[in-house]
Structure 1
Amino acid sequence: MKYSIVLPVYNEEEVISSSILKIIELFVRMDMDWEIVAVDDGSVDNSYETLKTLQADYPSALKVVRHPYNKGNGATIKTGIKTATGDAIICMDSDGQHDPEDILKMLPYLGEYDLVVGARPFKSDGTWYRNLANKFYNGLASQLTGFKIEDLTSGFRIFKADVVKKFYYLFPQRFSYPTTSTLALLKGGYNIKYVPINIQARKAGASKIRLFRDGFRFTTIIFKIILLFEPMRVFLPVTIVSFLLGLVSMIISIIQNARLYVPNSSVILFVLSILAFLLGILAEHTTAIQMAIIERD
């Protein structure tokens, strides 16, 4: 089996060389068939020049691709996946936070599972509000999918190449490919394994994640993917809640007026429940057609 390590790079000149050399040392030691695909996402520092210098030293091991301008993390991962030639695709950060040695913990599960995710400890992000937000999103995604999701946003993951190439077109250009890939594979019926890893201290730069801006994006992506793959998990609760609210409104009106009376609010809520149910059925049929096309291709 050949392994392709995809590294998204954006302004990482201080750490990219050491990160790549650690990966090279690991795979040389393990005597595996491998390649590194480093995708520079329009860096404005010397990251690209550093990558080209490394490529000159390891021409058969390191592929370097460059975006002419910054497209976003998701676009960078998609470029890496398209360029990769391996049977398994390992995606990890290039800032030194992911320890290449953890790959050895994750690889044994790749035969039985289609995606192996490096699950971070709960307090790995340092700030209490980010830890709390991660826990909330893990819980929300678990509730909507019906699967226990231990780490929705970890960027350290190993895919079977033939599986991820069915879904990577769904990845958003900028944000957040880990969330999308997890939910898409789960709802596509594929198997996911979580393996505990340790996160190293960031050696340079700062996280580009912003709590409120990106928190809204996380929520939007979660609902978008659920609507795409299992829409009734969203439409059915809306149907039930709308119907019950309409029923309660009608009962209150009957009690207040001492006669059968259906207020406008009840009519609107009943119509909303019917529309939500019909939209859910239509979306389910659309999903079935989409999945048939994905499996055929």
Structure 2
Amino acid sequence: MLNPSETMSRTAAAASGPKPVASRGIPGLHELSVVIPARNEAEGLARLLPELLAKLPGAEIIVSDDGSTDQTVAFARGLGVQVVHRPYGSGNGAAIKAGARSASREWIVFMDGDGQHRAEDIERLLARLGEGYEMVVGARSAGGQASRHRGLANAFYNRLATWMVGHPVKDLTSGFRVVRRKRFKEFLHLLPNGFSYPTTCTMAFFRAGYSVAYEPIDVQQRIKGTSSHVKIMRDGVRFLLIIFKIGTLYSPLKLFAPIAAGFFCTGVGYYLYTFLTQHRFTNMSVLLFSAAVIVFLIGLISEQITALMYGNQNSDS
């Protein structure tokens, strides 16, 4: 494995070797910005950056540093890569937003800085843009998950998100994607500073009616000594909360209607029980029926607010 200092000395020779991405009906290299959020990822960048410089000459490459304390910033600058430096860590999502604000090209490629994603896969994602998509996501296989537990959790999130948005969501949490910068910046204010920015971005695109495609990819093993910054239990709960947050913002009735139906069915069941055993209609049944009506009306009002919000957004664009 090359260390950062060895990689810097070999980058110039590697850059003249492979040919750039051949584009036909897809964005050219001069239209690409590559944003890489990084926090103490010097070793991972030692694998990724030379590949990017060799395969994407002319593309804008941005390392969005999130308060690294290792050689991440020095290494990236040593290769001539643009660096957006933050003096302290605010989270992966904060680094993504800072990088997106600095990007100047029409299309943005987001990649992780831990060495998992391969520069050669960018070409396949770009090729799907030629089919008219606004965002293409690199969908990992089951074997590409960091652990069995995380794979099962992501499978659950994908199914839940699919039900929420009404479209197949094959990899809700993938950090490898290419997106039209103008579209992405529409939702910049919604993105959290933590690790669930892909969740918010994906569901927002679907609800806005923008076309999204998934391209299967294989991920590499993380660079030794580079561990995931995601805590499974803590961030798993955050991912789930973000799904429901976006559900209430973009498909409120899909969240509120089942809850209202649950209260109503419970009220009916309790009423039948008390009628058969006590021959009366109890206050608890009234409370359950009232809760069902209130929750449903909240969902209905939220749905109307959402429709108005998106109507105004579409008229502005």
TM-score normalised according to structure 1 size: 0.92
User: Residues 167-208 of structure 1: CA distance to partner in whole angstroms, max 9, x if unpaired?
Assistant: 122110112111111111011111110001010111131111
Which 5+ residue runs of structure 1 have no aligned equivalent?
56-61
User: Residues 238-297 of structure 1: CA distance to partner in whole angstroms, max 9, x if unpaired?
Assistant: 111111111111111111123xx2212211111111111111121112112221233215
Please tell me whether residue 118 in structure 1 is matched to residue 143 in structure 2: no
Which 5+ residue runs of structure 2 have no aligned equivalent?
1-26
Please tell me whether residue 271 in structure 1 is matched to residue 300 in structure 2: no
Aligned 1:67-216 pairs, distance under 5 A: 67-111=86-130, 112-204=132-224, 205-216=226-237
Please tell me whether residue 246 in structure 1 is matched to residue 241 in structure 2: no
Cα contact 2:164–2:247 (8 A) shared by 1 = yes
Amino acid at match of 2:237: F
Please tell me whether residue 37 in structure 1 is matched to residue 62 in structure 2: yes
SS of the residue 1:218 aligns to: helix
User: Residues 85-111 of structure 1: CA distance to partner in whole angstroms, max 9, x if unpaired?
Assistant: 111110001111100100111101114
Which of 161-170 and 113-122 deviates more? 161-170
Amino acid at match of 1:16: L
Amino acid at match of 2:79: L
SS of the residue 1:5 aligns to: strand
Please tell me whether residue 4 in structure 1 is matched to residue 33 in structure 2: yes
Partner of 1:257: 278
How far apart, in 2, do the equivalents of 1:247 and 1:163 lie?
46
How far apart, in 1, do the equivalents of 2:135 and 2:308 lie?
24
Q: Segments of 4+ in structure 1 off by > 4 A?
A: none
Partner of 1:58: none
Q: CA deviation at 1:127?
A: 2.2
Q: CA deviation at 1:46?
A: 1.5
Q: CA deviation at 1:47?
A: 1.0
User: Residues 116-174 of structure 1: CA distance to partner in whole angstroms, max 9, x if unpaired?
Assistant: 00000112124221111111111111122221111111100000111111112211011
Amino acid at match of 1:39: S
How far apart, in 1, do the equivalents of 2:229 and 2:63 lie?
19
How far apart, in 1, do the equivalents of 2:247 and 2:195 lie?
17
Root-mean-square deviation (Å): 1.3
Which of 115-124 and 17-26 deviates more? 17-26
Please tell me whether residue 224 in structure 1 is matched to residue 245 in structure 2: yes
Counting aligned pairs with the same residue, the percent is: 38
TM-score normalised according to structure 2 size: 0.87
How far apart, in 2, do the equivalents of 1:81 and 1:262 lie?
59
How far apart, in 2, do the equivalents of 1:169 and 1:175 lie?
15
How far apart, in 2, do the equivalents of 1:66 and 1:119 lie?
29
SS of the residue 1:199 aligns to: coil
Cα contact 2:44–2:222 (8 A) shared by 1 = no
How far apart, in 2, do the equivalents of 1:289 and 1:14 lie?
47
Amino acid at match of 2:276: I
